[in-house]
Chain A
Amino acid sequence: MIGSDFYLDDPRPADGPPVIVGAGPAGIRAAQTLLAHGLRPVVIDEAPKAGGQIYRRQPDGFGRTPKDLYGFEAGRASDLHQTFDRLRPQLDYRPDTLVWNAQGHSLDLLHTAQRTADSLRWRDLIVATGATDRVLPVPGWTLPGVYTLGGAQVALKYQGCAIGDAVVFAGTGPLLYLVAYQYAKAGGRVLAVLDTAPAVQRYKAAPAMLAQPTVAAKGVYFLSWLMFHDVPVHHGVQLLRAEGADRVQAMVWKDAQGAEQRTNCSAIGLGYALRPETQLADLLGCEFAFAPLHRCYVPQIDADRRSSVPGVYLAGDGAGIMGADAAEISGELAALALLQDRGIKTDAARQAKLRQQLDKTQQFRQALEVAFPFPDDWAARAPDELVVCRCENITAGELRSTAASQPQGDINRIKALCRVGMGRCQGRMCGVAATEILADTLQVPVAQIGRIRGQAPIKPLPLDMTVVSADQEASHG
């Protein structure tokens, strides 16, 4: 009915190596599985080294041992790194390469070191883009010295340095304890761990936690270790603000009894678990649905990690946060599904077992949500002056007043009107907090606020990049 010469018409290629985006635990296991079945995948990652977030590797010349870097996970980390190093000669591995766009069956790449761009056609694609911190700001969070938990951990793992010499870790979730432990273990001074989850939640979740006794035991271990080493751990707190003149000097908070407390510090690591990195799946046209467990929209997958788009598989945290061990499992599952869809024989029993393991993680994940609940009252408590979107300097108050005139609540409309999520991060960082504030203001479920639409580029792109080879697509004008 409607004619256009500009329709996207890009049939799926009949052939070509499978492509994996992301060389974290999910991507690496996927690559290993494909190789084991005789396919040689292309593995793309914007990081200079494989390993992903949790098993991020240090730059050359840094000499800390895996045990120092990864603690309990040292075994898994070494295993994964060694696996990758062993496979690497067989892989078409492209580090320092950002996938900034997906168009039909092409991925657009930026080779970050040389600033060159080209594109790559795919026949089948495993998206294993992982997660980033779920950011819920407090007043003062834009002061130098305030980091996300993930950022604090990256500093420690990647650069071997601490975010400050006297650190407070605040927020909630297992990463809170893990990072505090890692800092303290590495010789950092941890002044306090401030958990917004009340202690009682931990007991409520305990039975279900036993779905993964070893993981649960690790959590208990971190907590006990911190207590044993006299790191104060407070549950059921309310974070009020970070204070400081030119840089952060204190965290001000309310304890479970409601008394205001102040902890002087030189840095704060702040975090409320993670959010999936879904931009690429969005550009690929994958269908999304609201996932109450993650409190956000995630791309839909079947039990074997097939997305709604033929040939696109979603592995790891990018389709919902499940953690590193599950990422490995899901990476293998996704690869097996891909192989199956290519008509290559796979081990059905192995697949069944992996699915079962993932189910278990899912149960555990639900228990974690009980133990470390999302702070439902965060949005209601956020003061009007709180900067929510730091790229565009949009405050909670501005969001509230914009929302008041937009009873439909749609976040894209609100973005258009007040610029929230319109800066360099394109809402990848502020989207969660903005959504919560809008839902609270309008008194509607978070799902009703929708999600910020993704558009290329996934991350900022240098204007002066050089195109080395455009793909062979016919140009229309």
Chain B
Amino acid sequence: MVKQLGTEVVVIGGGIMGASTALFLRQRGIQVVVLERDLCGSRSSGVNFGGVRRQGRSLAMLPLSQRAHQHWGRLTALIGTEAEYERSGHFKIARSEADMDSLVRYAEKTRDCGLDLQLLDGAALHKRFPIGGAQVVGGSFCPDDGQANPRLLSPAFATAAARAGAQVFEHTPVLEVAHNGQRFVVRTPDMEIRANVVVNAAGAWAGQFAEQCGEPVPMRIRPPAMGVTEPLPFFLHWSLGVEGGSIYCRQVRRGNVVFGGGPGLVLDDTRARNRHTTVWAQLPQLVELLPQLKNAQLIRTWSGNEGALPDHEPIISESSRQAGLYHAFGFAGGGFQLGPGVGDVMAELIAQGRSSTPIDAFRIDRFSDPACST
């Protein structure tokens, strides 16, 4: 028997985007149902690197990132746990003059964005952060960026939403979204849910719902490659990145060093892994950067599926085709930090029809403009 349900808003996907949207909707008193195919926070949102970083983001994204930052600052009040969130600082190093120049340019461009970046030359850097091995020319330090444990944090958003009155259904895949002229009809294997509003927050799988509504987007799957060492005595106090990419790492409270950099492998529609060539590239870089790791052991590698758009910006937008449909997906590379900000913006958008944070750069119809498509 197919269960019938009526609600104001249906959110597809219980990742950090879907769950925080549901939480902020509830805070505005709006009725919401979350439908999650697997377990809430078990996909990208639960397996990511855990970097809670604003430094390095595009100018377009920074206002949203700042809004998220405010929420991170009151996490316990928001979701009832801090999930190992720490403002440990995010430190980006340059290994060449050219890379340092690029850090300097970024600091100038973002001077008014509230990041409080501190630029350090080689000598100052070694004095303050004796990280050892790498050929470091300089760096840029963002003191209030940090890190958190995604395995704990993302499911906690869903739990908090449920506590606030959202109906959360796990192991409940959305099969189809249709509109009967008056309301949306969202079908799962054993439910039919009618709603005025649908939020498409299905992560790397969101493209199918955009397509069903007649606005396909050029999204590709990207699997960032992750790994972790055995626990080690604590030595790395900040989250560490390298200008130009290639390797990043942080030490978690338990002592393990989590790292990423380079592409993993997509195995099938739902699973991804690290790949051997990437592991081989990561390990020597890591040991070079942090000689403390020379005798450490790697105990696990993994990856996850995220959706990327050609201009590296996400989609946070009302549908261009269907009133009442909203999209929030395509957060490759940085959606974890944005999560609480996106949820807040989506709730505002749905409740008030506009966002007080600029999100124009994230419109879904930007790809239908021939000048922008790739």
Which residues from chain A contact B339 at a C-beta distance below 8 Å?
Answer: none
Contact of B266 among A7, A117, A457 (CB under 8 A): A7
B265 engages A6 (CB within 8 Å) = yes
What CA separation (Å) do A422 and B301 show in the bound complex?
A: 12
* Binding site secondary structure of chain A: loop
* Structural contact, B221 and A460, CB atoms closer than 8 A: no
Residues of A within 8 A of B196 (CB): none
Instruction: Answer whether residue A332 sits at the interface, using C-beta atoms and an 8 A cutoff.
Output: no
B311 to chain A, nearest CB (A): 16
Contacts A4-B266, A461-B297 given; does A467 touch B280 at CB 8 Å = yes
Cα(A426)–Cα(B302), bound, Å: 13
Residues of B within 8 A of A4 (CB): 220-223, 266
Contacts of A422 in B (CB 8 A): 300
For chain B, the bracket of interface size reads 35 or more
Instruction: Find B230's partner among A7, A117, A460 (CB 8 Å cutoff).
Output: A460
Q: Is B372 an interface residue (CB 8 A)?
A: no
Let me know if A426 and B267 touch, CB within 8 A: no
A7 (CB) vs chain B CBs: closest residue: B266
Indicate if the CB atoms of A426 and B299 lie closer than 8 Å: yes
A377 CB within 8 Å of chain B: no
Question: Within 8 Å CB of B152, what residues of A?
Answer: 416-417
Contact at B283–A463, with CB atoms within 8 Å?
yes
User: In the complex, what residues of A have CB within 8 A of residue B39's CB?
Assistant: 408, 410, 413
- The stretch of B204-212, B234-242, B350-358 in contact with A is B204-212
Q: What separation, in Å, do the CA atoms of A6 and B262 have in the docked complex?
A: 11
State which residues 255-271 of B face A: CB under 8 Å.
262-267, 269
Q: Counting CB contacts under 8 A, is B275 at the interface?
A: yes
Instruction: Say yes or no: B221 contacts A3, CB within 8 Å.
Output: yes
B321, CB-defined interface residue at 8 Å: no
Query: What B residues does A462 contact at CB under 8 A?
Result: 295-298
Report the stretch among B95-103, B137-145, B286-294 that lies at the interface.
Answer: B286-294
* A464 and B266 contacting across the interface, CB-CB below 8 Å: no
Contact of A464 among B155, B218, B294, B301 (CB under 8 A): B294
With A101-B276, A424-B299, A470-B280 already in contact, the answer to whether A2 and B269 are too (CB < 8 A) is yes
Report which of B230, B263, B300 forms a contact with A477, defined as CB distance below 8 A. Answer: B263
A475-B277 contact in complex given A285-B267, A410-B39, A457-B300, C-beta closer than 8 Å: yes
Interface SS of chain B: helix, strand, loop or mixed?
mixed
Which residues of A have CB within 8 Å of B297?
A: 424, 460-463
Within the complex, the shortest CB–CB distance from B248 to chain A, in Å, comes to 16
Bound-state CA distance A408–B170 (Å) is 9
Contacts of A6 in B (CB 8 A): 221-223, 263-266, 272
Q: Are A419 and B254 in contact (CB under 8 A)?
A: yes
Scoring A1, A5, A285, A461 by chain B CB atoms within 10 A of each residue's CB, the highest score goes to A461
Other-chain residue from A413, A457, A475, A476 in contact with B299 (beta carbon distance below 8 A): A457
CB distance from A338 to the nearest CB of B (A): 25
Cβ proximity bits A238-282 to B, threshold 8 Å, 1 near / 0 not: 000000000000000000000000000000000000000000000
Q: Are A457 and B301 in contact (CB under 8 A)?
A: yes
State in angstroms the CA–CA spacing of A413 and B39 once bound together: 8
When the two chains form their complex, are residues B299 and A460 in contact, meaning their CB atoms are under 8 A apart?
yes
Question: Contacts A4-B220, A477-B262 given; 19 further ones with Cβ under 8 A?
Answer: A3-B221, A4-B221, A6-B272, A8-B265, A103-B276, A410-B39, A412-B42, A413-B42, A416-B42, A416-B46, A417-B151, A423-B299, A455-B302, A456-B273, A456-B300, A460-B298, A463-B297, A464-B295, A465-B283
- Nearest 6 pairs of A and B residues by beta carbon: A4-B221, A460-B297, A416-B151, A461-B298, A467-B280, A3-B220
